[in-house]
Structure 1
Amino acid sequence: MTVRLILALLLAAGSAAAQQRDGSGRLVLDDIAAVVGSEIILSSEIKMLTITTAQQRGVDVNDTTAMRLLSLEVMEKEISENVLLHHARAAKIEVTNDEVNRLVESHLGELRSRYSSDAAFQRDLAAVGQTMVGLKEMYRQQATEELLRQKYLQEHSHELPQVKITEDEARELFEQQPMGNSPEQVKFQYLIVPPEPGEAEVLRAKARIDSLYRVFLERQVDFAWLAEHNSDGPSASSGGDLGFFSRGEMVEEFEGAAFSMKVGDVRMVQTKFGWHLIRVEARRQKEVKARHILAAAVIGEDDWQRAYNLTESLRERILAGESFYQLAMEYSDQKEGMSQSPSFSVVANIEPAEFRDALWGELTPVPDSGGHRISPVIEMKPHGWLMVCELERKEEAPLAFEDIKHQVIERLEYPKRIRAYVDQLRKKTYIDVRFEGWSPLDGSS
């Protein structure tokens, strides 16, 4: 079906629906297919919707038998929707102009997306004698009714009966509708070897903190002032104040010292960042409040080169047969989440990007490892040198029924609950069906 034909049919159906009342508001009784409570369904609506559905399904509109069956299916669907609409109006469900406008724009956007340009869209509007204003008005009625039904179901969701979806029903939907592919997945481990400052730089930082410690003790200088004027850390501007923190928020050496100190204690501590002078100011339950002064141990190019050489040597050891996991636990700076038996991760979702890029890049097989592969050594500033080990990979592939059976069942369950609920509503709704079935539009049989 061409886009123009779709648009023409939609407009025809909308025009028919709009003529349920005349200018004075009196109901037009000609060509009524059904009365559902206070709602009227016109035969012209059913005919246009039947044609649209036939075109979508590839049914020959000249096949009278097929069109009659299809028209009865359309009729049943329209009755169900109007049953909900009748009860929504009776329950005085309300929708706002903003809600309607958003849905109208959504529908228009979907329709426009079928066109290569706005000019082509406007040409088809003109070809069926319509304007954008008229099209929006048609969609407003449809959107209003759609929202009324949605809101009614939301407010009565507790009344929806429970239903059972059989595995055969789920499998039928799975086989009829493409469910997509399972994404590429991988089990992997990683290690990051950080650059460490040279011995001379560490001694320089220690000497500086030692000097500041003596100044604090001998001159009774305010610790916050001393931090503000001497710390290399980002908290210097606030006098080294770190606020309250609990275990797991600071590096291990800093945390171990802070939680072992009493309020008022001051201590020198070395971490990967350099040397610190810590002062504990308060404690509460499982938290400590502290200030610190940092003398950073600056990392230079030689330190980065040393870390690279170490990481390359680890790579050679892994290729020679040593355990990636054991070396990672010994040398890696980041061990959080490290597992000897990791679960599968979707490659496209892996963060940070360096991990993902490494797994998509060239990988070297590890001999006698059962299919493990490792990446080259990759720079990952400011953290260090990265290496990843792929343990197992699943390539992108069509989803198997067993993989998504529960999702398919859930997909079927809600519509089936709605159908069961509408069946209950139909029993207490006035319905007068006058539609006699499909007949060709030209009146011939």
Structure 2
Amino acid sequence: MLDLMRKHAGSWMIKILLGAIALAFALSWGVSQYGQDPRPPAVKINGEAIAESRVSEVYANLVEEAKQQLGAQFDRVAPLLNLRQRSLETLVNQVLLSQAANQMGVQVSDLEVQQRLASVPVFQRDGRFDVELYRRILSRSRLTPEQFEAGQRQELRMAKLSALVAGTAQVTPLELEQALAQSLAKVQGVYLLFKPEAYRKDVKATDQEIEKYYQAHKAQYLEPASLRLDYIVFPLAEQRDQAKVSEDEVREAYEADRQRYSQPESVAARHILFKLPEKPTPAEVKAAKEKAEKVLALAKRPKADFAKLAKRYSQGPTKDRGGDLGRFARGQMVGPFEELAFSLPVGGLGLAQTRFGWHVVKVYEHNQASVTPLDKVKEDIRARLSERRARELAQAAAERAFDKLALSGKLADLAKQMNKPVARSPRVSRGQKMEGLPGLQGLFAAAQDLKPGQTVPALAFEGGSILAVISERTEEKAKPLAQVREQVRQAAAERLAQDKARAEAAKLLKDLAATKNPAAELARLPHAARTGWLGREGRVEGLAGSSSLVQTLLLQPLNKPVLPAPLSVGEGFAAAVLAGRREAPAKEMEAKRAEFKEQLLAAQRRQVLQSFLEDLRARAQVLVPVQGGASKGLIPGCDSPGSIEWVPLDSPRAQAQARAQR
């Protein structure tokens, strides 16, 4: 079922369902599925056995998410993501939270679930929950109401647990005052940048340094793993005749994605803005209004050109295009402006005040809300559904062939039975595109741990699906030093230049710390620079990546103005000194007090929840199976003596096995 949903994850509606059902499958732990899975459990958490199939479901979701984010780069970076271990860790955390909810008696009533369902827009028709639409949408996604509602119940249950635990968080008055003072203060500093390029001519990497750098950075000089495949293609073209879509299915797709075909009420307008400061005085408001009223009178004259008036008088960013704001719907403009624009007839003029100033507004287009009729889009919907179904059929055909190949053993024999040719791919490395199979993704993830002669699970590409057998495989390995010596020499020399620049900056800081006025001493040196007065969002002009310098200066006490170590900033290492600090005015601190308190409280809640989970992990018994002989560590009643041994998740043996599975 989850595989089917992942195929349709492009639909926004299915994404909602996928999130809920993933929770239902991952967190509805009532009965272990160990008896339904021939493999041993993937993990035991406080004695609760979690089936390998659950880890596989979470892993598949993480892989799909990573593919969508990384695209063609997925194969290249997949080994670094450690998705298998992340899947296991995710399940452990979720189970521990579910167990804690059980112990604390956290419950969700049927009424709460019903209210949650009624609030989901996709299940509503004319603003009201529609049971028939709800069941039809779930049915199209191969879901039952029980499955979906289990996910919703668990999501509500976890929200209650979070609220219960995070409710203990608090912010003391002292914490709030310190945060306000630190965040709203402004600082000034003096710095000198030591650039590695200034030392490159003075450094030379010896043979010993080159060898040492190579050994420490072999991962940067890898010969990538590569594969060659023999494969059979199941093209989309063979499935399109079977991919028929009924009128009912077209109608259901239209109803489920009705928002896609809805156009909200909108207007198009021009405006002329007379700006006001952030906190205007009554006199400033009056003066701006008088200017706006004069221009409004000019705009009302017969044959007045509003665009020319905007270019002449407007103080807003749309001045150069005649004040044109284009088309906008409700909710996109500030309140008073929106109310006026939607109330004016086409060609109408009016005046509105917002926090930006006074606006002279002219509406030149008004479109009522509408829905594109089904008749106008039905063929597009049919074509989209038909293409999707053809892809499903091609993938299903490849998966059936995979099952047959497991019995027959030879791809050539199977191809002969199916009257299909066997193609051989060129050698391909991680991240490379497969010639002849555009859009093929996830090959190296699917082929993980497979050896030549073994079959890769069916994979989709732009033109259909394939069933492939690995014909050749080379593993990732470091290139010999002789082959990359010049690259390594340059990198080692660059590192020596960086070390030299850092050391010179550190020496200067040490010398400055011994002076009475380090800021003045540093400012006298050639190429030293003084910053402006900077707050926490400030940046040093002309210095890339200066935010770290600003944040460090804000944390530096005035009685110890010299930074303890050089900072990596921009193209070098900065030796910096705090030259001064200005505390925030009491009025500004008071204005920001409520906002900061809420931010601190949110951070405290996150910390409390994290500490709660860490405490659960520290007290939990989390065991994973590793291969081994008979052991007194076996858990009676669950394992076959001599097959597996249960060890803590964070033990060296478990970690070694996890590394081997990457």
Larger radius of gyration: 1
TM-score category of the 2 structures, normalised to the smaller one: 0.3 to 0.5
**TM-score, normalisation: structure 1:** 0.37
**TM-score, normalisation: structure 2:** 0.27
